[in-house]
Amino acid sequence: MEEAVDVVLVGGGVMSATLATLLNELEPTARIELVERLDSIAGESSFAWNNAGTGHAGLCELNYTPANADGSLDIGKAVHINTLFEESKQLWSSLVAHGNLGDPADFLSPVPHLSFVRGEKNVRFLRARHEAMSNHHCFESMEYSQDPATIAGWAPLLMAGREPGEPVAATQVEDGTDVNFGALTNRLLTRLTEQGSDRVGIRTGQTIRDLERNADGTWSLKIETSDGGRRIVRSRFVFLGAGGASLRLLQKSGIPEAKGYGGFPVSGQWLRCDKPEVVARHHAKVYSNAAVGAPPMSVPHLDTRNVDGKPSLLFGPFAGFTTKFLKNGSIFDLVKTVRTSNLSPMLSVARSNFSLMKYLLDQVRLSHAQRVEELRAFYPDARAEDWQLEVAGQRVQIIKKTPRHGGVLQFGTEIVTAKDGSLAALLGASPGASTATSIMLDLIARCFPERFASAPWQARLAQLVPVRAETLRKDPARLREVRRETHRILKLVAPGESLESAPRTARVAEPECC
């Protein structure tokens, strides 16, 4: 017997939770089922300790502002990501304002975002970056300093014990955020079940073994439960949002659009500190330059994390290599995705990225002492015994077939959809979670074009995300207005405020004793 639903969402992370939320708001009568392989939701990339929790807004990530051939800086990507994150904040604030997303402090914290560099060349770059970005209304509150005392005021650990006279510079944006995407995912999905609708089902401990398209355009998904049971679900629409597992399921779907895609897995590790007297001296997310030959996701940063009400510090990530596509995956994941259609692109990427492979293998061999030594470039007084190793989530970067190069390794996220819009898959990684709202709105527009353009859906979307990114990029007044309102509702630092004047205490209190 087949069970029939309108929508199946594969994967219990923030992407599926966001899409479920939007579709439920736009089509309350739709029957939606979320299927998660693990026994609980948000157990992979959305889990708090599997990612850095940076609300990516282009404020501190230096790789978002590359240099042009003439030496000028291109801030286009930073502006784009900044306004996409504003769309996410609008959705969250609209749900909070209606009283059904709980206290935003459970998943969102105000944390300044800093960029920090050393050396004359890097100081010149950061100065030019600040000049270019602060002239755009998205980043008009960005501060810049080369003064060690000022930087020490922003982030004391950066300057304590540093050799005097070393050229340093930093930028700071007060209204950055730290996001617990695991808590957000749980809150979004709990909200759907709390509304009492029997049209939304969340099934954990269930694995999609196969899927095939039926003659009427629907999809049948063969599901195995953790106790060995089997079931079949027929759905009019399927979203594959299962992180690294999405690629193999996309391939099993057999849609032509899946051909040529491959995956390149990259693992990660963090140094984590929970010692109160250390944690209390740092309240920021501080990003710096990536090492030569390092992939973009390995940009080093020293971050404040607020998880379940307890502050900690993370430093990293330290990259590694494994053939798993999920943290709880199999070492055969990579091999199982090799097809005749993607073998050539994968080999092409392997040949052209030898230095990257060497970098990953070198990272795997690092000792604890060597990792702490890298930390000391940020925090000179760091003590090895204060930090422990934390294994991060698994990321699968996209390998894409191209006519010119055979294949390219692509960082970021990409949506792959069937021609008829009945199936969509999300591939790739950061900054996906921060821009989940924008990505899912784009997916809905592509898969449900007529209904997306309809007056009822547009009216509801205007309530959920009143001002879209394109308008925010062009209209300074609208951006300032949106930020004031979302930051008020989400209890964040509003433009022109300091952390001390924010609606709630954001800084970590000094410990009573050390």
Say which CATH number the domain at 25 has: 3.50.50.60
- Structural domain boundaries, residue 355: 2-455
29 neighbors 199 (Cβ within 8 angstroms): yes
CB 416 within 8 A of CB 387: no
Q: How far apart are CA 336 and CA 334, in angstroms?
A: 5
Residue 510 within a domain: no
DSSP string, 287-320: E-PPPTT--GGG--EEEEEEETTEEEEEEEEEEE
Q: Is the pLDDT of residue 502 over 80?
A: no
3-state secondary structure of 40: coil
Q: Quote the pLDDT of residue 432.
A: 84
Strands 219-225 and 413-417: unpaired
Cα-based distances in Å from 264 to 45, 94, 135, 331: 16, 37, 38, 13
> Is-cis flag, bond preceding 317, omega within 30?
yes
**What's 175's DSSP letter?**
T
Question: Would 78 be classed as within a structural domain?
Answer: yes
Find the mean pLDDT for residues 393-413. Answer: 86
In a domain, 508, yes or no: no
Cβ count near 339 (within 10 Å): 15
Q: What's the pLDDT tens digit per position in 28-56?
A: 999 999 999 999 999 999 999 999 999 99
Q: Can you give the C-alpha Rg of the chain in angstroms?
A: 23
In a domain, 490, yes or no: no
User: Is there a domain that residue 63 lies in?
Assistant: yes
Q: Is 498's pLDDT higher than 90?
A: no
pLDDT, residue 320, reads 81
pLDDT of residue 512: 30
Cβ atoms within 10 Å of 226's Cβ, excluding its own: 12
pLDDT of residue 295: 63
Q: Is there a domain that residue 400 lies in?
A: yes
Q: What are phi and psi of 337, to 5 degrees?
A: -95, 0
Residue 489, in any domain of the structure:
no
Is residue 302 within 8 Å of residue 317, measured between CB atoms?
A: no
Q: Check pLDDT > 60 for residue 504.
A: no
Give the number of domains in the chain: 1
Cβ–Cβ under 8 Å, residues 381 and 160: yes
- Residue 505 within any structural domain of the chain: no
